[in-house]
Amino acid sequence: MTMAAARGLLDRREISSVELTTAFLDRISVFDVKVNAYITVDREGALAAAAAADRRIAEGRAASLTGIPLSLKDVLCTKGMRTTAGSKILEGFIPPYDATVTARLRESGAVILGKVAMDEFAMGSSSETCAYGVPCNPWRLDCICGGSSGGSAASVAAAECLASIGSDTGGSIRQPASHCGIVGMKPTYGRVSRYGLLAYASSLDQLGPMTRDVRDCAMLLNAISGHDRRDSTSVDRPVPDYIAALNRGVSGLRIGLPREYFSAGLDPEVEKTVGDAVSRLGAAGAEIVEVSLPHTDYAVAAYYIVAPAEASSNLSRYDGVRFGHRNLEAADVQEMFRRSRSEGFGPEVKRRIMIGAYALSAGYYDAYYKKALQVRTLVAGDFTEAFAGCDLLISPVAPTPAWKLGEKTGDPLAMYLSDILTIPANLVGIPAVSVPAGFSAAGLPIGVQIQAPHFREESLLACARVLEESSSIGGRRPEPAE
Ligand code: GLN
């Protein structure tokens, strides 16, 4: 069921939010034993919120999400509800406040079912670095669901919630959405407040919707977008009604195919799926043009300096004093810091802290960090030039469909390279969406990525909608029990 369909049923009183919420909680208890999407299920809180939602609906005061059960990536602060960022270091952390996005969802009436699995501190592409169990792909339980917002994608695909919120620093919304056959959007940097999002790389992080279809994506974006004085990088700019943009179509739009995104290493099934999506956009009246993003090859390298550099600074707060696990046996304060952090962080997070601290240190700053920022500017220039000749870009989301669990855990570089097509949008700050477009012969979903200039989420949604409506894959559902 979509959020929009549930909205209709709730408004017509054909179902109550308590019934709907109970149905999802029941599904979680049956399917999540296998899927492992949830870290925390808040049964009581969800049922109380659902009962409150039912009262509002009865009073005729329903807001857009009143009574709608959602899951949240465990990187968003939820007042009174454990928030771990997938890390052992935050095992007992109960935030005393709500993230702005959490608060906005609650104000819109949403029912929060619980918090879902993710790579530790959002560092990863498979959710396998999660300290609370690895979520798997509902379409094939022996495959990764993607990451780092893997629990979000898996919980939506397995119908263990109606929709979810993820975060995207280098592809973490779009890539798992693609691997799990759902819609995932990274909005423009600054569109959605990051207040209360446990920071990974602050100049790249952005929260966004992960939903069953494009209309739900617009509905959720409406609820979470907008200026927040608590996040100085959130942009004070009116929020359009994203639902109103859904049916604009693509007729007369120029859609660019970035040549560099179709280079060697692209899986033939992914290439074919994107090719088919491009033909459908052409048939819907778009003009397809080839464009070039010449610095694409350098984006991953630049990202793996900028993101760890920011992470090494952001994660210094987990020191056993201000936040996080504390070792109680240490003889002095230095040893306490060292042992607390050594025990609390997993290997991938430690690797990033070390890379970041190294890249920022005296003598290396100019060679690495400053150079990476220069590359970031060049990548941004590529997009400015490309968008001078087209309205949107279409490409794959990931070079391959989901891979087998464990396949890349021993090879960080292979894992990093799988984000080559999603990282540029974060370096540049532009919005991008992943839309389901096909399946591999092995039965794994394949998504298509659309990118737009800053604040053109409306065009993204309109184009995504055309792809969704012209697609022949509708109706296919995973069966995680088998
Ligand atoms: N996989 C990328 C990384 O590990 C992106 C993660 C993300 O977007 N949070 O950094």
Distance 124 CA to ligand 1 centre (A): 5
Structure tokens at 372: 């990476």
Q: What is the per-residue pLDDT for 464?
A: 98
Q: What is the per-residue pLDDT for 481?
A: 57
Cis peptide bond upstream of 148, omega within 30: yes
| Domain 3-244+432-470, classified CATH 3.90.1300.10, yes or no | yes
Cα end-to-end span (Å), the chain: 21
pLDDT at position 194 over 70:
yes
Give the whole-angstrom CA distance, residue 272 versus residue 182: 19
Ligand 1 atom nearest residue 423's Cα? 5
Are β-strands 287-291 and 254-258 bridged in parallel, bridged antiparallel, or unpaired?
Answer: parallel
Ligand 1 atom nearest residue 171's Cα? 8
The tens digit of pLDDT for each residue in 298-317 reads: 999 999 999 999 999 999 99
Distance 112 CA to ligand 1 centre (A): 25
Mean pLDDT over residues 445-456, rounded?
Answer: 98
DSSP-derived secondary structure letter, 385: H
For the Cβ of 122 lying below 6 angstroms from any atom of ligand 1, the answer is: yes
Pocket residue to mutate for ligand 1, from 172, 175, 203, 434, most atoms within 8 A of Cβ = 172
The tens digit of pLDDT for each residue in 205-262 reads: 999 999 999 999 999 999 999 999 999 999 999 999 999 999 999 999 999 999 999 9
For the Cβ of 170 lying below 6 angstroms from any atom of ligand 1, the answer is: yes
Which sequence spans correspond to the domains of the chain?
3-244+432-470
For the Cβ of 129 lying below 6 angstroms from any atom of ligand 1, the answer is: no
- Radius of gyration for the alpha carbons in the chain, expressed in angstroms and rounded: 21
pLDDT at position 127 over 60:
yes
Pocket residue to mutate for ligand 1, from 119, 145, 165, 449, most atoms within 8 A of Cβ = 119
Distance 286 CA to ligand 1 centre (A): 32
Pocket residue to mutate for ligand 1, from 87, 121, 123, most atoms within 8 A of Cβ = 123
pLDDT at position 482 over 50:
no
The tens digit of pLDDT for each residue in 202-215 reads: 999 999 999 999 99
CA-wise closest residue to 477 among 443, 447, 430: 443
Give the whole-angstrom CA distance, residue 216 versus residue 213: 6
Mean pLDDT over residues 445-454, rounded?
Answer: 98
pLDDT at position 264 over 80:
no
The tens digit of pLDDT for each residue in 84-106 reads: 999 999 999 999 999 999 999 99
Total length of the chain: 482
Distance 466 CA to ligand 1 centre (A): 28
Residue 5: strand, helix, or coil:
helix
**323 beta partners:** 318
Distance 409 CA to ligand 1 centre (A): 14
Ligand 1 atom nearest residue 307's Cα? 10
CB 185 within 8 A of CB 197: no
148 catalytic residue (yes or no): yes
172 catalytic residue (yes or no): yes
User: Would the pTM count as exceeding 0.75?
Assistant: yes
CA-wise closest residue to 71 among 174, 176, 180, 150: 150
For the Cβ of 308 lying below 6 angstroms from any atom of ligand 1, the answer is: no
Q: What is the per-residue pLDDT for 479?
A: 80
Ligand 1 atom nearest residue 122's Cα? 9
Give the whole-angstrom CA distance, residue 185 versus residue 399: 18
- The whole-chain average pLDDT of the chain stands at 97
Q: What is the per-residue pLDDT for 480?
A: 72
pLDDT at position 25 over 80:
yes
Ligand 1 atom nearest residue 201's Cα? 9
